[in-house]
Chain A
């Protein structure tokens, strides 16, 4: 009984810790010089989501993600940025949760790229709905390109972290 409480406590502490790390990474990224193309992001916070999926589980990772999005919107964003983040974040999480078992820790970069692609696809969809113009679709190739590049980088970093965690 005592053991269970202690492992539960450990889990919640780790979740809280990862949420704050995720939030810090988000803040660090927004402090970088802005990338001239709208919607192109490195997605540092995604490292935490990937790591959490593997070391804590999907449910916990999802809770960390949602908490991070809510908190980051409170700190630096608006209602609109919350809409963008939650759509992209949930879509990315969905595909990553589905594919994380298939690819495992060693091929996490594939999961990461798929997540980034879905994240950007979700944001593009929201942008088209919000502005009501399909002309924004010209961004699609740029967003896909950036998703593949940043997804690979984030995936490699995540693998490095996960290997050290073992």
Chain B
């Protein structure tokens, strides 16, 4: 009985408990912050510059040219994909259609990045506390 009470009131017990809670919280925060969120807009970067923002609601097809090469980008049914590229590895094409912000489409040889802007959907969380 005395031991149990001693444990409950000891600094070590609480330090360990709170440290564990902190670790669990950090893990949860990291896990949830990377959960995919879909968005209505895609941002297209060429050589680290935002060159175009396209709506995913409207089907479209266009070409992005840079000094290094070109990519043909297609928007269809709220999803965006690269359908043609003059790069060697074709990773951007193989990634297929993307509609969430988890992994952006990147074509390293041509310096192209397509990122989904999920700020509109995430604003639902911005409640007053």
Contact = CB atoms under 8 A, between A and B. Distances in A.
Interface residues on A, range: 20 to 34
B128 A80 contact: yes
Contacts of A143: 129
B124 A103 contact: no
Nearest to A142: B29
A146 to B, nearest CB: 9
A139 B11 CA distance: 28
B125 A136 contact: yes
A59 interface: no
Interface residues of B, number: 19
Interface stretch (B20-28, B100-108, B109-117): B20-28
Interface in A129-146: 131, 133, 135-136, 138-139, 141-145
A141 B31 CA distance: 11
Contacts of A94: none
Nearest to A80: B128
Interface in A111-132: 113, 123-124, 127, 131
Contacts of B14: 107, 110, 113
Interface string A64-92: 00000000000000001000100000000
A124 B14 CA distance: 23
Interface string B22-45: 101110110010000000000000
Contacts of B127: 38, 127, 131, 133, 136
Contacts of B28: 141
Contacts of A148: 18, 21-22, 25
Given A141-B24, A145-B26, 16 more contacts: A38-B128, A107-B14, A110-B11, A110-B14, A123-B129, A133-B124, A133-B127, A138-B125, A139-B125, A139-B129, A141-B28, A141-B32, A142-B29, A145-B25, A148-B21, A148-B22
Interface of A: 38-39, 80, 84, 102-103, 107, 110, 113, 123-124, 127, 131, 133, 135-136, 138-139, 141-145, 148-149, 152
